[in-house]
Structure 1
C-alpha cells in the first residue's frame, strides 16, 4: 500500500524556517518532520511513498537524492570515478517525488499524483504533523467500514476541519473546514482512501478538505476513526518548540518505533478497533 504525503504548502506561520526550507524539512531532533512521519508508516510496514511537492520542492528532492550518501559510509575513488559503499544506513523506502505545482490546493495535488497510485487503496497524510496512531488498525478499520475514505479524528480546539459524527455508527454526518467556533473533533489527517474518491476532485483549485470530503460525508462514504492517543501538528513556532521539548525528554510520544515491535499489515485484521487522532492542513 502506498502513502501519499502532502508536502507542498508555504508554511507561512513558520516563516522563520520556511523562508529557507519547505515546512516538511523543518527539523525536530535533527531530522525533518517529514522523516518522522515516514518512519511511523514504515514501522507499520508501509515503505512506498508518493510525496506531493510544491513550495521549494526541489529542496525536498535534493534531500532524498542525497539521503543514502548522508546515512552511509563510502569510499570515493576520484581517479577511477567509482564509489564503494561500506554501510548503507538508509531505510527501505521507495520514494516518488512529484512536482504538483506551487499554488495547487490539496485536492489538486492528489489529483496530480493519481497516475502513481494505481487502482489500490492508499494512505494519505499531511507533511506537518506526528502521531502515535496505529496505522495497521486504521487500515483494518477502513476495510471493515467499506467506505470510500476514512479520516482520523482527534479532540482539539477548532482551527481545523470539524467533523460532525453520527451517533450510532462511525460515519461523518457532516464535514466542514476550519470554524473558529469549534472545539470538538477535528480532522487529524491520516486518511485511508479508495482511488474512486479522487473522482470528486475537480481541478487544481479544489481543496481536499472542502468539496471532496463534504461530498463523501453527504454520500455516507466518509468513515471516522477516532484516535485518543498522541497527536501534534507543527503549524507555528510554538508547535515546533513543543515537539522539540518532547524530543529532548528522550521519549518523544510519537516515536512508536523505539518502544514497540513492528508488525506486518497481515496482522492488522487481528487488532482491536481504536479511536482516532487529528491533523492540520499543509
Structure 2
C-alpha cells in the first residue's frame, strides 16, 4: 500500500505537474526513508537558511518523471511558517498547494485556467464533502418521502485544499513559527478581495480518520478510485 502523498503526487503528475516540494515535520525521516526505497535517485542537497535538511528524489511516480524535494521545515512550525520557509525553493512562479490529507478528481487543468482567468493571488477548490449520515426527506406531516444514505452534503462549500497561488501570497507570511496559513494570511487576502473559489461538485474525500483511510483503500483496491486516471 502506497501512502496518500504518493497517490496525490501521482494525480498531479498525470496532469503534467512533476515538480514537488514536501514540507516535512514530524517523522520526516520516515518520509525520506520511503523515497529512498523507491525506484529513483535520492540525494542530499546543500543547506539553506532555515532549511538544514533537504533531500531530492528523482524518479517515476505513476509512470511520470518527477522531482521531489523533501524539506524538513521543523517540528513546531505551523502551515504558514512551513510555506514561508520554502519560498526560496519556489521563487517567483505561480504554484499549487495541497495539504496532502485528501484526494479528489478535480480537473487541475480547469482549476489553473480558473485561477488565471480571475487574476487573483489565491484560488481554493470549494467542495461539498460527503455526509457521514443518511439524509431524510420529509413532508409537512413528517412522513418520510426520501432517504439518501450518506449523500454528498447539500449545504455550503468547504475548502477542499487544491490551491493555486501567486508568489504574492508570500507577502502575507510573517516570520513566525506559529503562523497558521488559514488564519491571518488568508483572512488578509480575503479582506483585500484577492481570493477566488473554483467549485468542484464531484469526488473529494479527506483522510482524517481511520474510517476515511479504510474507505479510500477500499476504493483503490476495487479498481474504482476516482483519483486514478487511466
Q: TM-score, normalised by structure 2?
A: 0.77
Measure, in 2, the Cα distance between the counterparts of 1:46 and 1:130: 16
Runs in 1 of length 4+ with deviation above 2 angstroms?
Answer: 88-91
Partner in structure 1 of residue 116 of structure 2: 143
Which 5+ residue runs of structure 1 have no aligned equivalent?
1-29, 71-87, 159-182, 259-282
Among residues 60, 72, 80, which one is paired with 1:99 in the alignment? Answer: 72
Counterpart of 1:266 in structure 2 is none
Aligned counterparts of 2:188 and 2:165: Cα–Cα separation in 1:
14
If the length of structure 1 is used for normalisation, what is the TM-score? 0.63
Residue among 196, 201, 212 paired with 2:185: 212
Conserved 8 A contact 2:126-2:160: yes
- Structure 2 vs 1, CA of residues 144 and 251 (structure 1 numbering), >3 Å: closer, same or farther? same
Shift of 1:197: 0.9
Structure 2, unaligned runs of 5 or more? 42-58, 132-154
| Equivalent residue for 1:126, pick from 91, 99, 105 | 99
Instruction: Work out the CA distance in 1 between the residues paired with 2:13 and 2:221.
Output: 23
Deviations along 1:164-188, one digit per CA (max 9) or x if unpaired, are xxxxxxxxxxxxxxxxxxx521111
Partners of 2:166 and 2:70 lie apart in 1 by 21
Aligned mate of 2:6, from 35, 44, 50: 35
Instruction: Name the CA distance, whole Å, in 2 between partners of 1:66 and 1:242.
Output: 26
Question: In the alignment, what sits opposite 1:44?
Answer: 15
Distance (Å, rounded) in 2 between the aligned partners of 1:227 and 1:245: 23
Q: Label 1:69 to 1:110 Cα distance change in 2 as closer, same or farther (>3 A).
A: closer
SS of the residue aligned with 2:202?
coil
1:231 aligns with 2:204: yes
2:216 is the counterpart of 1:246:
no
Q: 1:236 to 1:139 in 2, by over 3 A?
A: same
**8 Å CA contact 2:23, 2:72 repeated in 1:** yes
SS in 2 for 1:151: strand
Note the aligned Cα RMSD (angstroms): 1.8
Aligned with residue 198 of structure 1, among 152, 159, 170 = 170
Checking the alignment, whether the CA contact within 8 Å between 1:157 and 1:184 is kept in structure 2 is no
Asked if the contact 1:156–1:184 (Cα under 8 Å) also holds between the matched residues in 2, the reply is: no
1:89 and 1:48 mapped to 2: Cα distance?
Answer: 12
CA separation in 2, counterparts of 1:140 and 1:215? 24
Q: Deviations over 1:93-133 (max 9, x none)?
A: 10111111111100110001000001000000011111001
**Counterpart secondary structure, 2:217:** helix
Partner of 1:13: none
